[in-house]
Chains A and B, each alone.
Chain A
Amino acid sequence: MLKPDPAKQRDGAYVGQPVPRENARRLSQGRGRYVDDIAFRNLAHVAFVRSPHAHARILSIDTSAAQALPGVVDVVTGEEMKGLCTPWVGVLAHFPGLKSAEQYPLAVDVARWHGEPVVAVVGESRALAEDGADLIEVEWEELPAVVDAEAALAGDVPAIHPELGDNRAFRLEVGQGDTASAFAEAAVIAEEEFRFGRHTGLTLEPRSIVADFDPSLRQMTVHHSTQTPFQMQDVLARHFGLEEGNVRVIAPDVGGSFGLKLHVYGEEMAACALSIRLGRPVKFIADRLEAFQTDIHARDHLVKARMALSRDGEILAMEVDDLTGIGPYSVYPRTSAVEGNQAIRLMGGPYRMPNYRGELNIVFQNKTPMCQYRAVGHPIACAVTEGLLDKGARALKLDPLAVRQRNVVTADMYPHTSPTGYVFERLSHEECIASLASLMDYERLRREQAEARQRGVYRGIGLATFIEITNPGPAFYGVGGARISAQDGCVMKMEPSGDIRVMVSVTEQGQGTETIMAQVAATHLGVPLERVSVYTGDTQTSPYGGATWASRGAGIGGPAVMKTALALKANLLETAAVILQAEAGDLDIRGGAVVNRKDGTQRMELAELGRIAYFRPDTLPADFHPEMTAARHYVPQGYPFAFTNGIQASHLEVDVETGLVRLLDHWVVEDCGKVINPLLVEEQIRGGVVQGLGGALFEECLYSPEGQLLCGTMADYLTPMAGEMPDIHMAHVETPTLTSPLGAKGVGEAGTAAAPAAVMNAINDALSPFSAEVTQMPFTPERILTALGKV
């Protein structure tokens, strides 16, 4: 197990140490405070009547019985809700041509997915609100539903939004070079159709909000299970006509997010609207059925792709067509174009592929809206690239490890630009592949695999090289017109006790953001870690910033905290120099005390500095004002993104009689730049891997041909549980980014990015004696048996 090094901690070098999280101590004792745990006086609860159809016109709504039910406080239809909230449209200018329709919190006239909220019922308890919802009668006229993405663009299919003309939301072509010539010259062309089912984030804490509007001051306080308090403050202020400063968003403990909790959802907007209407706090906690019906879904791609390879396994070109269905709307405010955009741009990313053409088509359908979920687009690009590469290597009788070594972008090529315009500062593919081969003992596993096959045991080894987008700059959202901050800020103060308080705009959902920030602050200030407290997630007390998503917390929030710590240190030393009648440059702070820079002799405790600065400034020279607080901001520099890289491997066994897959082991070698806390990095990776394994093997949001969602419970929607999951072995390569003083990149997506590809390649490796292949995720026993010709 990773243990902190006491000597390094004594020296104050916390960055790089596997420090456990103080939050984990608190949460392990059941002392978390999630939104639903917080008590409010005079609280009302909202429940929703939802569309039972995938696509249907609302002919009439009769709310009279619900209105008359004791315990029901208010009933609001979609039409009435229109007057409480301005509409939103999920488009941004940097996706030219992206279209979507106006949305309100509740469906108006037409419901466009099964589960879309239609009427809000407020009750004195959730149960009473649900009783009221049961009494509401909606008369529906069913409309033809567009369910399959493939059918959405057919000529006779009606447009889900007639005013938009057709069901194409967005189209994009990217690429460079001459793919036609490359394919003409190829020794082997690997061609395949890949399908990626819909799955969803399934945070264990469902979406949760309590909106509390004070009409006397027109102020609204919102406790919200969100990743992005500032984004939500902006959204709420604009759509409810409130002063931004009068909207306070507080994210208390958040029970998982994974990209799910940064989108705008109708129910949450409705809760705010109702609080404004009623002048009392209104709570919405999604139940699990509501979560399956209305939390964003993810993926849903049909990819037709081919790869041209030379005789010795060099990738000459790729051509990719990605069709992805996003439900009836592009989700606000980040749009549903990002997943597909990243999928076609990340194709072939780890490799020296000179020629590429990618086409993306995003279509509307009558299903739950699809939007960004952990590793946005990455698993698609990775599985397509790695799947085709293995297929080509099999045809050429080349070893999968060797063919990757042959093709990766090499150390001498950086900075390197991909055919889709991504710029890589410096990646470490060669070291990662070498490290993986030794970590997993690749040669031995191959020998064992061959022996097992003799016994009729079919094991597979699958590899997946990956790149990962982290530390996004303004190019991600800001340039498109979204009011989503690309920078982050930090305010740091020393209190009279000598303790350090850090307010930072990046947020915590269990990743360990607060511990990472404390490590950075303690290291660069020179104070013991336990004297640093970090506060996040409250728009009223934190500096403004982008918060935590797209693996930006450590890489952007970290340097903000580092800059602030250095600034506060300079302030403190200036005051110490005045008190000690020394030169600030001759002093330093170590171990929580002011010391002589040269020999480390202690001059004064920080608590003594605090005492004089706060309580006895009369003993200091006139006109000297001790600065005990510092504030700094940090904008990601140099490149639009900081890419990380790595490689994963899966070892598994396929039972060719039942189609069941048993995961034996999983390995990850990753390079997220400077590792601030290896304990947290490894658990980010492991958690991400298992989310990827879920999508690869179990998780699928299934629909009937009529567009009825068939998985409304966790009994229908299979998830990875401890018994089926393998141990996940890790190694690190560290290539610090030179664009930030901290050198850290992100690590949140990497696990999820490549795990599905590794599993797919391992299954197909296991099935290779049967010339059978699977390319439709999740790889259920039925799909594997179908590939084997057994069902």
Chain B
Amino acid sequence: MDSLFPVTLTLNGVIATHEVSQRTTLADFLRQTVGLTATHVGCEHGVCGACTVFVDGRIARACLMFAIQAEGRDIRTLEGFAGDRRMEVLQRHFHERNALQCGFCTSGMLATAHQLLEGSPDPSREEVRESLSGNFCRCTGYHAIVDATLDAAAELNAATVAPEAEPAC
């Protein structure tokens, strides 16, 4: 049986300590130890992107990290984005545009799209396609995902520009 070791991390904004085995991946830790099942496991070797989460503010593959490596890190999963405007706008456009079918890739796809729009608020269609190329989707053919990401970017940009457009009074 595996020995357990304590790991203390910030998980979705809350500092928490859990016991993990050395060989438990971050993905398995999130899903099985903590019960955060928005993060999915698709390939377990870092190719499909289904397990994409934020580690210290940057997207990373949770299947390629051991849980114990999260010591002292800031880990954020899709569950931790409630109230995040950029994520909520992305989620709404994914829903309305039917940019997901089975939904298994969606959490990872949203994480990647979120990071894209953070660094590049007004991306071209090609830039969106390129940025999402580390996330495999078997259902949609990607077209709708690209549309939804661009629709979300447009809405987010309109929201940031709008106050300046109003006459000062």
Distance to closest chain B CB from A322 (angstroms): 27
Stretch in contact with the other chain, from B45-53, B68-76, B155-163 = B45-53
Closest chain A residue, CB of each to CB of B132: A722
Q: Chain B residues near A253 (CB, 8 Å)?
A: 102-103
Tell me the bound Cα distance from A724 to B133 in angstroms.
8
Q: Chain A residues near B151 (CB, 8 Å)?
A: 1
Is B66 interfacial (CB 8 A cutoff)? no
Stretch in contact with the other chain, from A151-159, A201-209, A239-247, A343-351 = A201-209
Q: 1/0 per position for A121-150, CB-CB distance to B under 8 A?
A: 000100110000000000000000000000
Of the residues B91, B102, B129, contact of A509 by C-beta under 8 Å: B102
Tell me the bound Cα distance from A727 to B125 in angstroms.
10
Of the residues A25, A203, A690, A713, contact of B95 by C-beta under 8 Å: A25
Distance to closest chain B CB from A239 (angstroms): 28
Q: Are B101 and A20 in contact (CB under 8 A)?
A: no
Q: Of residues 1 to 32 in A, which have CB atoms within 8 Å of B's CB atoms? A: 1, 20-21, 23-25, 27-32
Closest chain A residue, CB of each to CB of B45: A713
Tell me the bound Cα distance from A127 to B2 in angstroms.
9
Tell me the bound Cα distance from A686 to B97 in angstroms.
13
Q: Are B2 and A255 in contact (CB under 8 A)?
A: no
Q: Chain A residues near B44 (CB, 8 Å)?
A: 287-288
Interface core residue of A24, A70, A511, A751 (most chain B CB under 10 Å): A24
Tell me the bound Cα distance from A27 to B129 in angstroms.
22
Is B78 interfacial (CB 8 A cutoff)? yes
Is A510 interfacial (CB 8 A cutoff)? yes
Q: 1/0 per position for A423-453, CB-CB distance to B under 8 A?
A: 0000000000000000000000000000000
Q: Chain B residues near A25 (CB, 8 Å)?
A: 91, 95
Q: Are A255 and B102 in contact (CB under 8 A)?
A: yes
Q: Chain B residues near A256 (CB, 8 Å)?
A: 101-102, 104, 138-139
Q: Are B102 and A722 in contact (CB under 8 A)?
A: no
Tell me the bound Cα distance from A202 to B107 in angstroms.
18
Of the residues B39, B135, B141, contact of A725 by C-beta under 8 Å: B141
Q: Are A20 and B96 in contact (CB under 8 A)?
A: yes
Is A512 interfacial (CB 8 A cutoff)? yes
Q: Chain A residues near B115 (CB, 8 Å)?
A: none
Distance to closest chain B CB from A595 (angstroms): 31
Of the residues B94, B141, B145, contact of A728 by C-beta under 8 Å: B141
Q: Are A288 and B43 in contact (CB under 8 A)?
A: yes
Q: Chain A residues near B1 (CB, 8 Å)?
A: 70-71, 124, 128
Is A731 interfacial (CB 8 A cutoff)? no
Q: Chain B residues near A206 (CB, 8 Å)?
A: 42
Is A719 interfacial (CB 8 A cutoff)? yes
Q: Are A28 and B98 in contact (CB under 8 A)?
A: no
Q: Are B144 and A725 in contact (CB under 8 A)?
A: no
Q: Chain B residues near A37 (CB, 8 Å)?
A: 31, 37
Q: Are B97 and A687 in contact (CB under 8 A)?
A: no
Closest chain B residue, CB of each to CB of A712: B45
Q: 1/0 per position for B137-157, CB-CB distance to A under 8 A?
A: 111111111110001000000
Is A714 interfacial (CB 8 A cutoff)? yes
Q: Chain A residues near B139 (CB, 8 Å)?
A: 256, 510, 683, 687
Is B62 interfacial (CB 8 A cutoff)? no
Q: Of residues 75 to 99 in B, which have CB atoms within 8 Å of A's CB atoms? A: 77-79, 91-92, 94-99
Is A254 interfacial (CB 8 A cutoff)? yes
Q: Are A28 and B136 in contact (CB under 8 A)?
A: no
Q: Chain A residues near B125 (CB, 8 Å)?
A: 727
Is B164 interfacial (CB 8 A cutoff)? no
Is A217 interfacial (CB 8 A cutoff)? no
Closest chain B residue, CB of each to CB of A29: B91
Q: How large, as a class, is the contact surface on chain A?
A: 35 or more
Contacts A27-B103, A254-B102, A510-B101 given: A722-B135 contact, CB under 8 Å? yes
Contacts A28-B103, A713-B45 given: A721-B96 contact, CB under 8 Å? no
Q: Are A28 and B95 in contact (CB under 8 A)?
A: yes
Interface core residue of B96, B103, B142 (most chain A CB under 10 Å): B103
Distance to closest chain A CB from B64 (angstroms): 12
Is A184 interfacial (CB 8 A cutoff)? no
Q: How many residues of B contact A (CB 8 A)?
A: 59
Contacts A70-B1, A205-B40, A687-B139 given: A24-B94 contact, CB under 8 Å? yes
Give the dominant DSSP class at A's interface: loop
Q: Are B129 and A288 in contact (CB under 8 A)?
A: no
Q: Chain A residues near B101 (CB, 8 Å)?
A: 256, 509-512, 683, 687
Closest chain A residue, CB of each to CB of B42: A204
Contacts A25-B95, A30-B78, A204-B138 given: A721-B133 contact, CB under 8 Å? yes
Closest chain B residue, CB of each to CB of A690: B141
Q: Are B140 and A687 in contact (CB under 8 A)?
A: yes
Q: Chain A residues near B50 (CB, 8 Å)?
A: 204
Q: Chain A residues near B98 (CB, 8 Å)?
A: 20-21, 24, 512, 679-680, 683
Tell me the bound Cα distance from A706 to B118 in angstroms.
50
Closest chain A residue, CB of each to CB of B47: A714
Tell me the bound Cα distance from A31 to B35 in angstroms.
12
Q: Chain A residues near B137 (CB, 8 Å)?
A: 204, 722
Q: Of residues 691 to 746 in A, which have CB atoms within 8 Å of B's CB atoms? A: 691, 713-715, 719-725, 727-728
Q: 1/0 per position for A620-662, CB-CB distance to B under 8 A?
A: 0000000000000000000000000000000000000000000
Q: Are A204 and B104 in contact (CB under 8 A)?
A: yes
Q: Are B100 and A686 in contact (CB under 8 A)?
A: no
Q: Chain A residues near B138 (CB, 8 Å)?
A: 201-204, 256, 258, 687, 691, 719
Tell me the bound Cα distance from A512 to B102 in angstroms.
9
Tell me the bound Cα distance from A581 to B108 in angstroms.
58
Q: Are B136 and A288 in contact (CB under 8 A)?
A: no
Is B110 interfacial (CB 8 A cutoff)? yes
Q: Are B42 and A288 in contact (CB under 8 A)?
A: yes
Q: Are B136 and A20 in contact (CB under 8 A)?
A: no
Tell me the bound Cα distance from A664 to B111 in angstroms.
27
Is B60 interfacial (CB 8 A cutoff)? no
Contacts A1-B97, A288-B45 given: A255-B133 contact, CB under 8 Å? no
Q: Are A722 and B38 in contact (CB under 8 A)?
A: no
Distance to closest chain B CB from A79 (angstroms): 29
Q: Of residues 195 to 227 in A, which have CB atoms within 8 Å of B's CB atoms? A: 201-206
Contacts A288-B45, A687-B139, A721-B136 given: A31-B38 contact, CB under 8 Å? yes
Contacts A21-B98, A27-B106 given: A204-B136 contact, CB under 8 Å? yes
Of the residues A1, A20, A36, A204, contact of B48 by C-beta under 8 Å: A204
Tell me the bound Cα distance from A21 to B132 in angstroms.
23
Q: Are A719 and B136 in contact (CB under 8 A)?
A: yes
Of the residues A127, A690, A722, contact of B129 by C-beta under 8 Å: A722
Of the residues B39, B45, B95, B140, contact of A683 by C-beta under 8 Å: B140
Distance to closest chain A CB from B152 (angstroms): 11
Is A360 interfacial (CB 8 A cutoff)? no
A-B contact pairs, 9 of them (CB 8 A): A1-B97, A28-B95, A28-B110, A30-B39, A32-B104, A253-B102, A253-B103, A512-B98, A683-B101
Contacts A127-B21, A256-B102, A725-B141 supplied; 13 other A-B pairs, CB < 8 Å: A1-B96, A23-B103, A24-B100, A27-B102, A30-B39, A36-B37, A203-B102, A204-B104, A258-B138, A288-B43, A683-B141, A722-B137, A723-B129
- A contacts, CB < 8 Å to B: 1, 20-21, 23-25, 27-34, 36-37, 39, 70-71, 124, 127-128, 201-206, 253-258, 287-288, 509-512, 679-680, 683, 686-691, 713-715, 719-725, 727-728, 751
The 4 closest A-B CB pairs, nearest first, are: A30-B38, A27-B103, A510-B101, A255-B104
- B contacts, CB < 8 Å to A: 1-2, 21, 23, 31, 35, 37-45, 47-48, 50, 77-79, 91-92, 94-107, 110, 125, 128-130, 132-147, 151
